[in-house]
Amino acid sequence: ISDPELRRCQGEEQIELKQETDTFMVVPVDEQTSLTESEPNRNQVIFQEAAEAENQNQERRKSFSCETCGKRFSSKYTFDVHMRTHTGEKPFSCLTCGKRFTVKSSLNAHMRTHRGEKPFSCLTCGKRFTVKSSLNAHIRTHTAEHTLIHTEEKAFSCVKCEKRFSRKQYLTEHIKIHTSEKPFSCVTCGKSFSHKHYLSKHMRIHTSENEKPFSCVKCEKSFRQEQNLTRHMMIHKGQKPFSCMTCGKCFLRKHNLTRHIGRQRQKHISVDILVKCLC
């Protein structure tokens, strides 16, 4: 084959090869756009399906449901603890003063009051506390919100009735009046209450006035509740578990100590005012 014929054959083969390549590679513009747009949509659908499946798995894991408020729990322990908020049950009692608690951790924290332990300290002023909740309440005294109490400024207002409050927690409790939220119900008669202490007070009406099964072996005085008998026995034993850190005076009941501390503070305030006046 001559050179011109060889070059012509090679050229025809290259043209045929290019045409075959173009046939396989060319994709219409509309199809390209469709493929490009469908890919992220497909990924989004897969992600949504996975999220929904996970939510369903979580709901399945929460197999314990409260018939009173509808709240669901993943373990029987958390479910049982939650149910006590509705029944008012307090199975853990303090052997020293008779006070009862819903969970054992609260009893353990309470026992520190009798042992004098104060593991929680304020980083600002160094003051120490028996329980963390008391520390958290104290920390707020260093904030601007606490100063509103002393200035009588009420920065938190109700959007329903415009009543104003010095603390946000007071407003939160007040809101329940408008929402009719009553999560605490009596297992005996079904009556519901907005606060737990209202339920506890209500439960007493189901106990007969004459029914006092707990009696004192010393003086035969009877009580409706076991913790009242335990507290009464301290009188015979001479126990006074609540003591004033300032003067050392001891008291049988905590509210008597609280009242005593209030009087001590009032005396100190009066003395401070007198000293300032004399100066």
Domain region containing 213: 209-239
67 by DSSP, 3-state: which? coil
pLDDT of residue 207: 62
Residue 133 lies in a domain: no
Residue 84 within a domain: yes
CATH number of the domain at 235, please: 3.30.160
Q: How far apart are CA 252 and CA 258, in angstroms?
A: 11
Tell me how far apart the alpha carbons of residues 104 and 112 are, in angstroms, rounded to a whole number.
Answer: 13
Measure the CA angle with vertex 11, ends 8 and 15; round to 5°.
140
Q: How many structural domains comprise the chain?
A: 4
Within a domain: 34: no
Q: What is the pLDDT of residue 153?
A: 62
- DSSP letter at 102 equals S
Over residues 84-105, the pLDDT tens digits come to 888 888 888 888 888 888 888 8
Token readout for 76 is 């029987």
Q: In tens digits, what is the pLDDT along the chain, a chain of 279 residues?
A: 555 555 555 555 555 544 544 444 444 545 444 444 455 556 666 666 666 666 665 555 567 888 878 788 888 888 888 888 888 888 888 888 888 888 888 888 888 878 888 888 888 788 888 878 888 888 777 765 555 555 556 778 888 888 888 777 788 878 877 877 787 888 778 888 877 778 877 777 766 554 676 778 888 788 777 778 888 888 888 878 788 888 888 887 778 888 888 887 776 655 555 444 545
**Could you tell me the CA-to-CA distances from 270 to 87, 160, 208, 257, 277 in Å, in that order?**
46, 41, 47, 20, 11
Closest CA relative to residue 241, chosen from 229, 254, 232? 254
- Does residue 8 lie within any of the structural domains? no
CA angle 80–84–89, rounded 5-degree value: 120
Kindly state whether residues 185 and 217 are assigned to the same domain.
Answer: no
Q: What does the pLDDT read at residue 131?
A: 79
pLDDT given at position 155:
73
* Judgement on whether residues 152 and 200 belong to the same structural domain of the protein: yes
- Looking at the structure, tell me whether residues 215 and 270 fall in a common domain: no
Q: Are 196 and 88 in contact (CB under 8 A)?
A: yes
Instruction: Provide the pLDDT for residue 43.
Output: 61
- Specify the pLDDT at position 24: 47
Rounded to whole angstroms, the Cα distance separating 219 from 221 reads 6
Residue 214 has a pLDDT of 76
| The predicted structure's pLDDT at residue 164 | 82
Domain assignment present for residue 247? The answer is yes
Report the distance separating Cα 79 and Cα 99, nearest Å.
23
| Structural domain contains residue 27 | no
What's the rounded Cα separation, in Å, for the pair 240 and 260?
A: 14
**Does residue 132 sit within a domain?**
no
CA-based torsion, 148, 149, 153, 159: positive or negative? positive
Residue 195 belongs to some domain of the structure = yes
Q: How far is CA 211 from CA 204, 220, 223, in A?
A: 11, 14, 8
Q: Which pLDDT value is given to residue 255?
A: 80
